[in-house]
Structure 1
């Protein structure tokens, strides 16, 4: 009889289990190794997909319960849950969630008491980055109005066009931009009331500031803004698209909700302090930035305008942990003189788009271990990519999971004809991996395209029909992308009549039309040219003169600076005797873009925009070399 504590001898099954267990372990190790080698991003892809699904399920559950929750509803919920928490920090002043709720209610009551605005009406908003931009936006949203964000840089003809195209009942303008509206006041369509956030206003303008002083800050009944459908318009955001003057893209309640989830999807939390220097009239600043802070219940530090010299001081002063960027911001920061303690900050994430690989690497080397969260998405588009892995240079990646939810393709494109290539049967073809192709996204009930306000032709122009089979419809992003062998996607270039400069899309036809208004110009052909170490392309105009007319460079300068935003003014001019055109009489651009602005390659007269002399000056070889070496700032 064995004593207490004596061990039972191993049974016959134990020796048989040992090799099985060790074999299982070896198999698991082999599978793990194979997964690492063959599917290195499997788990990152899966976890990111689960986040996306979770977001979609949440929206669907709300819908099935009959609770159509919008970004405004989420803000009101945050104001109830954490009224004292700072929402906006601006120039040292703190605006809590409760402050913004009350101030926006004042705006709503001011319009209720002193205007005939109704639910569904459009109101245009022309303001710089400031807390009142958010107060007015939310105040009008509380009345169920659609708010049209106007680009604060545009003036004259372009501004008037944007106001007319969205057909607003009212226009609200910031104090610093009132002068721009005064210029066009006599030309505004009848029935538009103009409100300025200023005490002293000219005749024909209503002082919103005065009305706010006596307005109630009590909650506005939810019946004023409750959404009947998530596909109803929430905002109009202007984009240059691919041709002509700016167009108002329709942003539905659903699109705003999806965009507001971006920061959360990248791993931001309610504890983050998010630095927004991007303009709020763009979807990045307003929806991803302000909407993203609301989704999280976080705090945002709002800056009137980006300043490279003050950037890191602000980050340290306000304990910033996340900032939004466009590629130009990162490049400007890298160009700043080096200082001690540049890695001494709390920034852990940067969310944005358009940073070049070389700038990305330099930025990380210089400023520390900041995760760059690059993304891609057009304001009006029905597709987006998010680089959740941090792969340098990529805007995102595709995989089996992604394809289940978003149908997109990269198709062959004819750069000279400026159109997709179709075979003898009339179908488009896919590009091979590693080759640039036009990004198109399938339009269906799951991924609709809501288009633009007003002229249906603008919406139709963005759609490609009968692409791979009869009856299919795709959204044309106008962007060339490359997909590598690991399924990462990289931005390659813009196509057609648009180029990107200073973080803005510039429609070449709009610039050409402004130059063409001069009485000595016969034709103008505008396009973008690459400049070393600069993001995007800067503007260049090739022009021909009318017979017996001479070139007036000072008048060209005066014309573009008067009627165009600074970023859209062509930096270079090329004077040609004859304009080459396509078979459909469109000016040819391909060869001009290839030749750029080099006086070594081009025999035509070339000129460069000189802001000090307020004219265009001859582009000499010396001047060209200075531009190429970065000694002259563009």
Structure 2
């Protein structure tokens, strides 16, 4: 079966995105749940959200959402009060937050990889009235927050918590009456999504209904989604891409979304063909995993016309597009809470996007020179930031505008005002101006295309997730006998981002097996260090900070240090001594990392 060729030009995609987003500000009471309701009336029996366990048409999605809206009303949830949601990918996930946000409450989307203190932190900082958790996560929740009240289980499982999937059947499914509806508009907060930012534990970012409408309709224009489209979605629904950007774009276009609980390279193309998908979303790691699989006779017999995502490396781009015959790749850059958005609809390999000249006022992005040692933008003799020249590396920032109709210039911040202020760069180029700091280093070529270089500060990316070194170090130091932990990221050939490595000082000999068990109970898989470096002492700066640059430079090469190095061997599921032979295997890609 031949792949579908691109059906619109890059220029038309930009114009279509503008056309779809232009009316949002002029209809302040029309939010995403309203859009789904309109689609239910127009094409109610068309498929909306599909999975092996459940299929929801647009009418069924709207009706399920209405039941959750009435549940929220009966619980007495006031406008702005929060419900936490801890659930794997499934059609019900979107039905829950569409319904609860319809009546003014806010849904906090919890990362399902979190355990222990990290999970407890994310719940506590949003002070929820209720927590909805899938049955398989009840034990984890009870361990993280012993004695937690107002917990609702979804599905049969342990504990005596009420089952919300049973309870909502008591509520009517029809459209909400005027008496039931509350005055909810695009300016109101809808979701809380978590981001680690550049330092510390996760922060809860405010996501307004305006942002949900903008994301879904803008990407509907960029991808030219239509009723015949079907998106394959295996990325987490608690992330903006998996839960709103691509998913919402297909739904507002009248298409359908196949929701898979997680990505597996082995089943990917079988699923694409079985569900007859025309679109899929990716992160760079996903594409690399697919390239590492053995060729399949049917891997090019699909109808995929476009894939959409971020993090696709230049050295993977061409091979991925060629081997699997992908007509178009839409690479983009956007921070969940930020205002810097870049789109590479033209398909320039390696670029994360650009801003056409006619949209420069709408997406006001800039690169400023950055001092890595001082961890701050460089200012000239007069105190102003310095813009980067072509191909010069600097921090990407976005102008925070006063025009309320321009969502691209807005920064809604976090639940903590202190955290919000830390992300704002003031008086950058003129008195009183304000810019959102992305915390990302980029460069821009002479044609205007941006290229990602690295994360600033302590955070690095691994497996498509941000890893905050302070959080990892805190978990490590909670293990008895560990006195110092210096966490950083190291590059491994053939992988995206940086893998975690920890330099440790211990009082006695480290029990590696017990230490590994300790980390597994406290950190998600992507945050656990892949390498350990055992030292007798830790160097500190004059301000009592750990030095990282030399550790990062030496990496995990046994020849670069006399310290004992260990590798978390995925085959043995244990930390093993890292020697030159093992180092060679890692360097030559003999492990699936």
2:135 aligns with 175
Q: Give the Cα separation in 2 of the matches to 1:184 and 1:352.
A: 32
Partner residue of 2:476 out of 515, 532, 535: 515
8 A contact 1:353–1:375 mirrored in 2: yes
Instruction: State the aligned residue count.
Output: 580
Correspondence 1:389-408 to 2 at 5 A? 389-408=346-365
Q: Secondary structure at the match of 2:559?
A: coil
Q: Distance in 2 between matches of 1:236 and 1:496?
A: 24
1:560 to 519, 525, 543: 519
Distance 1:77 1:583 in 2: 62
In the other structure, the counterpart of 1:271 is 228
> Using the alignment, how far apart are the partners of 1:529 and 1:389 within structure 2?
32
Q: What's the C-alpha RMSD, in Å, of the aligned pairs? A: 2.0
Alignment partner of 1:240 is 2:196:
yes
The CA distance in 2 between the partners of 1:56 and 1:322, in whole Å, is 21
Deviation at 1:423, TM superposition (A): 2.9
Shift in CA distance, 298/468, structure 1 to aligned 2, threshold 3 Å: same
Q: Greater shift after overlay, 585-594 or 148-157?
A: 585-594
Counterpart among 408, 412, 423 of residue 450 in structure 1 = 412
Q: Summarize the Cα distance change of 1:470–1:556 in structure 2 as closer, same or farther, 3 Å threshold.
A: farther
Change (3 A) 1:610 1:582: same
- Which residue matches 1:599? 558
Question: Is 1:476 equivalent to 2:434 in the alignment?
Answer: no
Structure 2 match to 1:608: 567
Alignment-derived partner of residue 504 in structure 2: 543
Q: Who is 1:461 aligned against?
A: 422
For residue 566 of structure 1, report the CA deviation from its aligned partner.
Answer: 0.6
User: Which of these residues, 261, 273, 296, is aligned with residue 316 of structure 1?
Assistant: 273
1:424 aligns with 381
| Structure 2 CA distance for aligned equivalents of residues 118 and 222 of structure 1 | 17
CA distance in 2, matches of 1:362, 1:222: 55
TM-score, normalised to structure 1's length? 0.88
Question: What corresponds to 1:101 in structure 2?
Answer: 62
The 8 Å contact of residues 88 and 261 in structure 2, kept in 1 or not, is answered as yes
Secondary structure (helix, strand or coil) at the match of 1:255 reads helix
Residue number in structure 2 paired with 1:81 = 42
Work out whether 1:53 is the aligned partner of 2:18.
yes
- Structure 2 CA distance for aligned equivalents of residues 588 and 227 of structure 1: 53
Q: CA deviation at 1:93?
A: 4.1
Give the Cα separation in 2 of the matches to 1:45 and 1:104: 35
Map 1:18-417; keep pairs closer than 5 Å: 47-63=12-28, 68-91=29-52, 93-113=54-74, 115-186=75-146, 188=148, 192-199=149-156, 201-203=158-160, 205-221=161-177, 224=180, 226-261=182-217, 262-417=219-374
Give runs of ≥4 in structure 1 deviating > 6 Å.
Answer: none
Verify the 8 A CA contact 1:627 1:633 in the aligned structure 2. no
Q: 1:627 aligns with which of 565, 586, 591?
A: 586
8 A Cα contact 1:142 1:220, kept in partner: no
Determine helix, strand or coil for the equivalent of 1:397: coil
Q: Which moved more, 1:270-279 or 1:217-226?
A: 217-226
**Which ranges of structure 2 fall in alignment gaps of 5 or more residues?**
1-7, 404-408
Displacement after TM superposition at 1:229 (Å): 4.0
- Listed one character per residue, the Cα deviations across residues 110-164 of structure 1 (whole Å, up to 9, x for unaligned) are 4444x23233211000000012212222221233211100001101111111010
Q: Greater CA radius of gyration, 1 or 2? A: 1
Once the 2 structures are TM-superposed, how far is the Cα of residue 537 of structure 1 from its aligned partner? Answer: 0.8
Pick the aligned partner of 2:547 from 579, 588, 592. 588
Structure with higher RCO (Cα < 8 A, 6+ apart) = 2
Separation of aligned partners in 1, 2:252 and 2:56: 17
Q: Deviations over 1:491-518 (max 9, x none)?
A: 1111111111111111111001111112
Q: Measured at CA, do residues 179 and 611 of structure 1 come closer, stay the same or move farther in structure 2, by a change above 3 Å? A: farther
Q: Which runs of 5+ in 1 are unaligned?
A: 1-42
Deviation at 1:331, TM superposition (A): 0.8
